[in-house]
Structure 1
Amino acid sequence: MLIDWYTVAAQAVNFLILVALLKIFLFDRVVKVMDKRQQSIDDRLREAEEGRERAEELQQKLEQEKQRLERNRDEQLQKAKQEADARREELLEQAREEVRHERESWQASLERERENLDRELASALARGVLDVSGKALRDLADEDLLSRITERFLKELEEIGENERKTLAKGAEEDHRIEIATPFELPAESQKRVSKAVADKLQTDVETVFEQSPETFGMILSAGGRRFGWDLHRYFEQLSKKVDGLLASRMRDTQQPGNEGDDADG
């Protein structure tokens, strides 16, 4: 059998070309895909290994925590018992303190009632005096009385302190007006005189409004929530303070150990 070397050579060349084409267009790509697949598998294996290590580490920590809790269980129970005992003693002490307080309150209740009664009587007396004075003031209202009230107010205004003056002036600027209350209407001449004195003293040119107030027993200036003037309520307040002082002094005297003993003997 004769060998056609030309054909053999041509087939060899074709085979080499085929191998080169397979390598270029198929084998290299297959190798790349396989390498990528192998890299993915390696990454997953590494992640799985890391996860296993983390799981083992977590399991070890949990085991250690369990052992720690078991070791401290008795200590925690003992501590809780001590805290419960301390809380119980605290509650018992609070209860004893409340009982002592209630006993002291009960022992002092009669004295407090007597003090309140004295205070109410004194306050009622002072209010009665004030009401009678106010009624008399309204019943006796005449030009001379109005003049005296005006003079008294102007005297108070003239002697006003600098801080109070600034406060009233600021209140007037805020309200853009000044209100002056009297138990009955002032004559126009008195209103002009008071308005001028107020404007000069407070150094303001806001409107001054005069109002009648049956509950006012004098002359009261109001501006920006501040009040100034002369009124019988001032004497009522002073009387109330004096009565409160006398009652407080009386209570201190009756609460002295020697006085309590004298009362008991009596």
Structure 2
Amino acid sequence: MSGVDLSIDGAVATLRLDNPDKLNAFTPDMLTQLDQHCATLERERSVRCVIVAAQPAKAFCAGADIIAWGALSPFDFARHWVRDGHRIFDRLARLSHPTIAAIGAHAFGGGLELATACDIRVMAPRATLALPETQVGIVPGWSGTQRLTRLLPEPVVKEMALFGRRLSAERACALGFAAEVSDDPEATARAMAGKLAGTSPMATEVAKYQIHAAVGEDRSAMIEALGGAMIGASADKAEGVDAFANKRTPEFPGR
């Protein structure tokens, strides 16, 4: 049975695509599982880093299962398949934990969009990236024309989306999309994750929020999250809550 598995080993969580018979292509159930796992991870404070990987196959992820969406009505395709997938990938992108995509093979369509939703990417030398949607009469729907264009030059995204050109691991690294090219991307990702043990979890989380706000990744929520954290640690907040609970007029100390 296809799925997205979640495992936690100490401070490192792994989200693993498990649909190798279909090149780890996404099914509706896999999207639902990814959504549920992201909800779990947001409340798992022991986790310091999340690695996104895949069961061995010829592709890290070949995109979305064409059989799964091909029979949908235009309404269901737009409202559920595209919008739900976009929402779930946004949820992954906005996890408070740092995320690393370990791309051991080709990442096409939704697979590339999944990797794009992670903070950094490590690619195997043979892995390539592609946006093949126009070849089956559709367009990228899970941030391939939006988030990806913030990470790659516009002409490169057009090469991929309009002309079907693949992006090699070497070129992806030269363009800054991939952090590293490695013969064992998952092992490299785990080594990177291990280095977070010496950093402040709170500082790492806030730094991610600040960077996301700078590039427009859910800017309004990031700004309010930072403001909420600042005021949440204040004596004014503690006084306001205590006064409300005890039905008295608050006396804010201004600190």
> Is TM (by shorter chain) over 0.5?
no
Q: TM-score range by the shorter chain?
A: under 0.3
**More strand as a share of residues:** 2
TM-score calculated relative to the size of structure 1: 0.20
TM-score calculated relative to the size of structure 2: 0.21
**More helix as a share of residues:** 1
